[in-house]
Chain A
């Protein structure tokens, strides 16, 4: 069991996401930073979509009642075991009852704590990802609280053999005030040339009203010239322009449908960078790219990450 000593502002269990229920209005959920989540899992020898702890916006502390293998990943956090500093982005063997503490020490919003065997809470609608806005199973929909105990899956591998594997975090190029690549959204052509120019030249600040549903941006209002739309599909990464002209970038808990025009969509490769953009620094700027370039960048990013972990050939086969 992994027990919560103190949760962060928002700590939840997240696996790769809930698939197959969007037609019923159930969002995908899953990690805000899919790359750090993947890295943490691969470092401890888990499959990439295994359930791990997502620690949001502040530090947190846990302990395990059994010896375990963990890895913590995410920009702007430091890891401690009792009073000893430990490396992030590294598989570490932790003895039972030691305090595992994540502490904020720089720009970044979300950290992942993966444990070998995975967090083994009962799946709900086929996934362990927690959606805090509505109870999808028997348990109440809420973030983790002090004293919560989470079952951990049994070890599939001798833990000490995996300890010490590490990833160079330069494999994921986080930035405190990034340029975020987007492709045009379905309603892009209904925005005027001036509106699109404003969208691509502005530097948008991230509003504190942002959350796992969407990041609200503030900057020059982007006017929409088209007519009213009927609700249509929406996805993580979609950039909606509501009537006040302030963009909302949909995140992991994005509703499945929406009725505001979408001027652009953040590419998959840059979604983790955007998710980790600090709220009180330079903000973001958008740059347009093609879907071909976007998909190629994501494949290259995953290959670089997987390659940077030093996996055994046998492990590579199941990726």
Chain B
């Protein structure tokens, strides 16, 4: 049995407070078991490609949703996005950019690289929780991905 088999949502977020709020919101909708949290872009890629620390993961079990923060150390969200969308194997994984940045150029660049959705994190926690929950439910339950 490989680890992380049930991981359906990968959260790449460097801010622990935001990560905790995110996961709490998802917990309310009983999605908590399906989340894995990584702290930077390199780790996110390792996870998806089942390399490095995650060598023992089964790469065929791709997560159903990647919640990606824009500003992360080592490798930021745009770079991760670019690599994932460039690779045949990982292109179809839905990526939702979740960030504080409203900068037009970030939005433009993200869509150019093929992001599926772009969310600006609301300052208000309640709203933030709502947004996270709603979008996760959509991408996990409503949206279909190829097997």
| Pairing of A with B | no
